Amino acid sequence: MHAFFFPSITTPSEDLKDVKELCSVLKLNLTVIEIQDIIKAFSEAFGETEKSSMNQWLNLKPRIRQSIWYFFANKLNCLVCGSSNKSELMIGYYTKFGDGAADILPIGDLYKTHVYQLGEFLKVPDPILKKAPSAGLFKGQTDEAEIGMPYFELDRILLGLELFGTDKEIAERLNISSTIVKRVRTMIYKSEHKRRGPIIFKLGVRTPTIDWRVPLVQPSKF
């Protein structure tokens, strides 16, 4: 296994300290590559700055990182391991073809609440467990501020929806407004394109991604 960290100018300074500590605990070799020069090259090529096109640059940073991850994955003959959890995946809180692009997602079916519990079980250092979740894409960014609610509340709503609860049933059980539940459901619907491959117009008998589901572990003979 190989660990990489690609900070930019907006990456909180304490993140590098936390990454080094976690890699030390997990006994992983860490490679740190600054990506600010790459961002600067994009800026000069486009004639734009992060300030003049904020959303575009927010998404570009994770895509730059993913390109570098896959460069090294090819070089080292490895798979890219993603860190997205179920909470983020369900509401689309990640960059398409950026941090959402990976070969495996080990915690993809664990809500953020479960990830914290897993972290405690694995004895992840307290400073990491207690810090506010953030992608560090701009100064002062936090996940929960952007999502508009704490993960604890989001996860309970998502679980209710997973178990086929109606907005009214979930709202009554959690003692919250049904408007909040509807908002989460809307985030799920609007981000569905992120959880699917590119749209292919069906023209043949069996169309890729729609009709073909080859198992990852294939039998020795067909």
* Gap between the Cα atoms of 69 and 3, Å rounded: 10
Query: Both tokens of residue 100?
Result: 């959402």
Predicted local distance difference test score (pLDDT) of residue 103? 95
* Gap between the Cα atoms of 19 and 3, Å rounded: 9
Q: How many of the other CB atoms lie within 10 Å of CB of 177?
A: 11
**Domains, the chain:** 3-195 (3.40.50.620)
* Gap between the Cα atoms of 156 and 113, Å rounded: 9
| Cα 160-166-172 angle, rounded to 5 deg | 75
* Gap between the Cα atoms of 107 and 83, Å rounded: 7
- Nearest CA to 61 among 4, 147, 137? 137
* Gap between the Cα atoms of 206 and 162, Å rounded: 30
Predicted local distance difference test score (pLDDT) of residue 62? 95
CB 142 within 8 A of CB 132: yes
The beta strands (E) that lie in the chain are given as: 3-5, 30-32
Answer whether 0.95 is exceeded by the pTM.
no
Predicted local distance difference test score (pLDDT) of residue 57? 87
Predicted local distance difference test score (pLDDT) of residue 50? 78
Low-confidence ranges of the chain (pLDDT < 50): none
